[in-house]
Amino acid sequence: MLWFYRRDEELITVETRFDDATREYVLIMQTDDHKKTEERFKDVVTFKDRLLTAEKKLAGERWTQAGPPVLLLDGWPRG
């Protein structure tokens, strides 16, 4: 999934996916000036907890979701 967050003229993308090769959940955040962070998680519970923390932080910093999320078809487990 790919979410877009906006604050004034700034944009952050938040991407969530599953890496089949490593069997890890991945959280990628990128600012519009191309600063990128990537975090990897072995279990879904820790991954979901981190997503909630990230969403709360963005909301606390006055970021708002810009439009609906985009489904990335290649980003989830294949079995």
Total-model pTM: 0.86
Name the DSSP letter for residue 58.
H
At residue 4, does pLDDT exceed 70?
yes
What is the number of structural domains in the chain? 1
Tens-digit pLDDT profile for residues 30-67: 998 989 999 999 999 999 999 999 999 999 999 999 99
The total number of residues written for the chain in this structure: 79
Stretch (H or E) spanning 19: strand 10-19
What average pLDDT does the segment 8-22 reach?
Answer: 94
Amino acid (one-letter) located at 5: Y
In a domain, 14, yes or no: yes
Per-residue confidence (pLDDT) for residue 25, from 0 to 100 = 96
In a domain, 75, yes or no: no
